[in-house]
Amino acid sequence: MAPTLSDRQQLSYIASQAADARLNVELETEGMTLNIGPQHPATHGTLRIIARLDGEQVVWAEPSAGYMHRGYEKLTEVRTFPQVTTLINRIDWLGSFANEVPFILAAEQLMEIEAPPRAQVIRTILFELSRIANVSLFLGDLGVQMGAITPVFLAFRDREYVLNLIEGATGGRFHPNFDRIGGLKDDLPKGWIDETKQVMKKLIAFCDEIEDLLFGNEIFQSRMRGIGVIPADIAKEYGLSGANLRASGVDYDLRRDNPVGLAWDKADWKVWTHPDGDSWARCWIRLQETRESCKIVQQLVEQIPAGPIMTKVPRIIKVPEGEAYVSTENPLGEMGYYVVSKGDLGPFRVKIRSASFNNISVTPWVLKGVYVPDIITILASLYFILGDIDR
């Protein structure tokens, strides 16, 4: 008597026969819920993605954040204005100097003062160095999502050069606390400008290496092109900003369109956009913007004006009563501080608008209908920092 085949063996036999006959077979599969995170390498921190699957396809997905809520906005309200920078440069820890700038600009706006021209140019240079340090790590880590390790080693190598520059100028690699209301803590050290020129050449070469290794790679393109497409109207609806918005074809960059208190208008550079809105476009835009940041730094170090780095401010700072909102084009997108002062030593209320929360908010829309492996590459291309979401 011939043995009876089990259900699994019968399905396997039917599938093999169909494959041989080049036929597609629709098999009934039971839906399941897949939890990615909150502790998972692909979530880049404590983020949980709950995905309802039909086979390999996502039917519904929802992000669940807040595991490391830190209450920055309330913490700023129990500190003096100068003390706030020690706190807020930890929000996006990869681009910390850039976090300080819009808050300082908001306080200066309320006090009706302006940093001297030399301080404005140095601020802009350090701002762009923060962007390069931040995005270069993104570019390197991008390969890891698809099993390519070499790019991240290159990124860690070259980011060190940039962190050395930031440390040389500010004394801190990750949390510089270098901005002051009215200017900067110190002037640039001797030899710093020449070293910066050399490092920018290395970072431009790094961009070329990443382009060859990743963007020219057939597997990389097949995993990113046409995947996770976000049209321009959806990007605006969800409040995306920065490279994610420009990758959907929206020509908007605060460095060009509203360069408050900084010196981007003194350099010749380009705002890149891409019409496709897919994962590949978001990564490609960041690669081009890293090159542009290097160009900005190269030009600004040649035109740092002479003069003081601080304007005259009271020794004990009390910001006059009023409200101000200042936002800048940070590495992850638009970051703004809405500051309310009652004329005291510290802010009465602070509301922070940063990019990561909006970047992750679009995931229920963009993950619907994609396959499970694409969840990882789409999350990587959207780029977010969990501390920025959970602030």
Q: Kindly report, residue by residue over 310-326, the tens digit of the pLDDT.
A: 998 888 888 999 999 99
What's the pLDDT score for residue 21?
Answer: 59
pLDDT digits (tens, 9 = 90+) for 199-234: 999 999 999 999 998 888 888 888 889 988 999 999
What's the pLDDT score for residue 24?
Answer: 59
pTM to 2 decimal places: 0.87
What's the pLDDT score for residue 27?
Answer: 64
Best CA proximity match to 50, nearest among 387, 282, 360, 280: 360
> What is the spatial distance between Cα 384 and Cα 358, in angstroms, rounded to a whole number?
9
Q: What share of the chain is helix, strand, coil (3-state, %, to 5)?
A: 50, 15, 35
Best CA proximity match to 235, nearest among 367, 362, 353: 362
Residue 329 dihedral angles phi and psi, to the nearest 5°: -85, 90
Of 239 and 40, more confident = 239
Helix ranges, 145-225 (H):
150-170, 192-210, 218-224
Q: Are 337 and 103 in contact (CB under 8 A)?
A: yes
Q: How many CA atoms lie within 13 A of 338 on its CB side?
A: 5
What's the pLDDT score for residue 95?
Answer: 83
Best CA proximity match to 227, nearest among 157, 268, 277, 190: 277
Q: Classify domain 71-355 by CATH architecture.
A: Orthogonal Bundle (1.10)
Q: How many CA atoms lie within 13 A of 66 on its CB side?
A: 3
Provide Rg for the chain, Cα atoms: 24
Q: 155 in helix, strand or coil?
A: helix
Q: Look up tokens 């790679």; give the residue.
A: 217
Burial-class residue 379 by CB neighbours within 10 Å (0-12, 13-18, 19+).
buried
Most confident of 121-130, 135-144, 169-178: 121-130
129-to-70, 95, 286, 297 alpha-carbon distances in Å: 26, 9, 14, 8
> What is the spatial distance between Cα 300 and Cα 304, in angstroms, rounded to a whole number?
6
Per-residue tokens: 134: 């931040």
Q: Are 120 and 263 in contact (CB under 8 A)?
A: yes
Angle in degrees, CA 307, 311, 316, rounded to 5: 150
Sequence-distant (6+) residues with CB within 8 A of 49 are 35, 36, 37, 43, 61, 62, 63, 64, 363, 367, 375, 379
